Chain A
Amino acid sequence: MNIWHSIRRHAEDNFILASLILLILFFGFSSDNFFSVITLTTILNQLPALTVVTVGMTLVLIVAGIDLSVGSVMGFCAAVVGVAAVAWGLPLWMAFLMGLGTGLICGAVNGLLVAYLSLPSFIVTLGMLEMARGLAYMTTGSQTTYIGSQIQSLALPLPGIGVSAALIFAIVLVIAAQLVLTKTVLGRYLVAIGTNEQAARMSGIDPRPYRLMVLAVSGALAGIAGIFNAAYLGSADPNAGIGLELSAIAAAVIGGTSLMGGRGSIIGAFAGVLIIAVLQNGLAQIGVSEPTKRLITGAVIIIAVLIDRWRAKHASAS
């Protein structure tokens, strides 16, 4: 009785985590292969790029903005890495740096336009979505550039640890970003700007540098995602990351981030990433067709927001 009550309380507090565990258990018991090493590595290998992009997206959403360009910027950065490493023969670390720099520049352009020219982030990043994709095709000549097995070491499980360096980076990033968001003055300012920009301004906080910063960070993280993607594939694919922005928004929203700004959690968004990944792979495992998979994933996003809304109302009522 007492134990049941305590479990229920924890389940309510960690609603997203509880849903994730339930999903894993469900697929574990309905499929013979779900609890296998191959399934787990498949899932984990997909994660770093989406996780890193989702962290950036969550920060942008918290200041009541949106970054639709992350998928294209990721593709563009992957293309830059591939061309730098193969066509120009640069060392891998320099190619990585160029990929990261490309993402940072794209994000900073977004940020400058949004923060200092007061353009809506939706429009600016929609424009960047098109431009970066075009640049990705131009950079690679619309061809997938094979880089070589050397780059793949980033995405392969490290001996003795069992997970890849990219995944470790992504998890460290999640923890660091969560700390910044919840424990520092910077995080509080971001929440304040996203909740009521005018009130923030009248508290002496200039929102512009913060808006610029989150979009630049989001771009840089898309650059890192591009590196991870190139490492995962062993090649630079100019089509990489198509639709990634929507997965990132979905993950953030499942994790309790508000599209209206002012509310969000990086850990929650990471749980959202896991839920999407588990759902996709689990449904494939139990033999659900691709169209049905999409139907279910879409429904889960809406249901997650409905439950979150209901919980928020419930919490404020009590």
Chain B
Amino acid sequence: MTESARLSISNLDKAFAAPVLIGVNLTIARGEVHAIVGENGAGKSTLVNILAGNLQKDDGEISLDGNIYEPQGPRDSYAAGIACAAQELSSIETLSVAENISLRALPKKKFVIDIIDEGALNAKALKLMQRVGLQNIDPTSSTEALSLADRQLLEIAKAISFDCQLLILDEPTAALTTPQADHLHSIVADLAAAGTSIIYISHRLDDVLAVADNVSVLRDGELVVTTSTKQTSVPDLVGEMTGRNQTTATERRDRVSDAGVVLDVTDLTTGDLPHAINLTLKSGEIVGLAGLAGAGRSELLSALFGLVPLTGGTVRRMNNGAEHAVLNAGQAVRNGIAYLGEDRQSMGLFPGQSLLTNMMVPGSVDTKTLQYIDKKRERADGARFVEKLSIRCNNLAQDIRQLSGGNQQKALIARWLHRDSDILLLDEPTRGVDVGTKNAIYDLLIRLRQKGKTIVMASSEIDELTTVCDRILVLSDRKLVRSFERSDFSEQDILAAAFSEFTASVDNQSTSTSRVASPQR
């Protein structure tokens, strides 16, 4: 008699605006360590969220130990024996380490009413903390003081605080040093030997090959291959992850050869970017920033815009022979630099205000603070941008919240075009935008490039970068590792470069003790 698999997923579908998971089939046996890899946005987190009960599937079937599993919330997944150490750290900073570990089931004792049994709480915490390598921390201390790496270990202690059947680890080693990661991997092996099944999600492909029994590759929401880790290699996995069809490139003119330098960055370092970064931007080019999540793309863009203080180096803006240092965002804007943050809602939009106000906020170049706004001209400008960028709206007075994500994004780009900015720093400009609008944004960027504007765009979608960019800079582990010219664009090479700082350190294990200098916030 074959026993039923621990987890069995068949034909799982999930869509938000666009499909995110398409007909996923996955089976995990008892005591199996199963890795899931894929590019950012491939659907890994969505899959985890469905299993953890944070999201509901659209279609398909999930069963646990032969029983249908349909969680309505995180409570159900917990009851079913699924533990999840999330990528986003979820510790509550004002509670003690021990309280965080046992938050779901605080030990109680009777004292007139039920009160928390502090002794049992801390004893239990201490045992788990010893297991994950947090033995140096006082369980009664506040979580606030923990480093990022310690919080990640705390997350794992939390996940194994009860007898789970299936443990999901989502990027568990992102902030860990090599010895800490090795220790974690030995815990994983112990748990698996005891019969716990483990889903292991990681960008560190070497780890995946070392830790997992089998590995599945997700690409654009489809599970393209499942194989034994003994029969695959890092290059094979990278190939499977990127093996998508190239989208047709938009028509583009040759670049002006004598284009002048518009921004010169020398030895830039910030609190988040410890390795010196040098780059020059010319007029009429689109430069892509590639890298895995947390590689430092957003940090670099915000440093160029003067949003974070530099700890070293300079950002100089060259404009018709004049040269200005960029020290803060106000100066950046006055010197024709524009910025779109990766989170449109919190960093860009003025919700509740009209489309027109949203497009016109920084004002055109010549505005003084106590100057009257020429509303007639403003409406004319607004109407022009609505037409030029084909922003779909009822009228200019419409609340920006009522526009679709793509149209909101266009309005934010219009904000800077109105300001006639020469350098556009765009962080994930097509995030949460449907395919049609995506292409419209690509076209717009290329049109702006032909007009001599400089665009730097960070994106986690490599094919998007290879479609529109003239140059792609790759960041890995907050280091600028490689630059690709358009002629040698290869998704595979770019992805390999993005992984390089994460994989290289495994080879140097004996010499380097820390592969990630975890940011101590």
Contact = CB atoms under 8 A, between A and B. Distances in A.
Interface of A: 180, 183-186, 188-189, 191-192, 195-196, 198-206, 262-263, 316
B351 A195 contact: yes
A204 B351 CA distance: 18
Q: Which of B328, B351, B362 has the most CB of A within 10 A?
A: B362
B352 interface: yes
B333 interface: yes
A205 B350 CA distance: 13
28 contacts: A183-B372, A183-B373, A184-B373, A185-B367, A185-B370, A185-B373, A188-B357, A188-B360, A189-B369, A191-B350, A191-B353, A192-B350, A192-B357, A195-B350, A199-B348, A199-B349, A201-B329, A202-B305, A202-B341, A203-B361, A203-B415, A204-B332, A204-B333, A204-B334, A205-B330, A205-B362, A263-B352, A316-B399
B502 interface: no
B73 interface: no
Closest 5 CB pairs of A and B: A204-B333, A195-B350, A203-B362, A204-B329, A186-B369
A203 B333 contact: yes
Given A203-B362, A205-B362, A206-B330, A196 B349 contact: yes
A206 B330 CA distance: 7
Contacts of A184: 369-373
A202 B348 contact: yes
Contacts of A204: 329-330, 332-334, 362
B346, B352, B360 — most chain A CB neighbours (10 Å): B352
Contacts of B357: 188, 191-192
Nearest to B378: A188
Contacts of B360: 188
Contacts of B367: 185
Contact of A195 (B330, B347, B352): B352
Given A183-B373, A184-B372, A188-B361, A199 B328 contact: no
Instruction: Say whether chain A's binding surface is mostly helix, strand, loop, or mixed.
Output: helix
B319 interface: no
A185 B373 CA distance: 6
B5 interface: no
B328 A206 contact: yes
A186 B332 contact: no
A205 B339 CA distance: 12
A189 B349 CA distance: 14
A205 B402 CA distance: 25
B282 to A, nearest CB: 23
Given A183-B372, A185-B373, A203-B415, A196 B329 contact: no
A60 B214 CA distance: 60
B394 to A, nearest CB: 11
Q: Determine the main DSSP class of B at the interface with A.
A: loop
A185 B334 CA distance: 15
A317 to B, nearest CB: 10
Interface string B247-263: 00000000000000000
Contact of B347 (A191, A202, A206, A316): A202
Nearest to A192: B361
B373 A188 contact: yes
Interface string B365-377: 0011111110100
Given A204-B332, A205-B362, 10 more contacts: A185-B370, A186-B369, A186-B370, A196-B350, A202-B307, A202-B339, A204-B333, A204-B334, A263-B352, A316-B399
A305 to B, nearest CB: 16
Contacts of B307: 201-202
B418 to A, nearest CB: 11
B350 A262 contact: yes
Contacts of A262: 350, 352-353
Nearest to A180: B370
A300 to B, nearest CB: 25
B299 to A, nearest CB: 14
Nearest to B346: A198
B133 interface: no
B363 interface: yes
Contacts of B370: 180, 184-186
A111 B160 CA distance: 49
Nearest to A195: B350
A5 to B, nearest CB: 22
B222 to A, nearest CB: 36
A198 B347 contact: yes
Interface in B379-414: 399, 402
Contacts of A199: 341, 346-350
A183 B330 CA distance: 22
A53 B361 CA distance: 28
Contacts of B332: 204
A189 B370 CA distance: 10
B358 to A, nearest CB: 9
A186 B368 CA distance: 8
Contacts of A186: 369-370
B347 A185 contact: no
Interface string B333-349: 11000010100001111
Contact of B363 (A188, A196, A198, A263): A188
Contacts of B349: 196, 199
A263 B348 CA distance: 18
A195 B352 CA distance: 8
Contact of B371 (A185, A192, A198, A203): A185
A201 B346 CA distance: 11
A196 B346 contact: yes
Contacts of A202: 305, 307, 329, 339, 341, 347-348
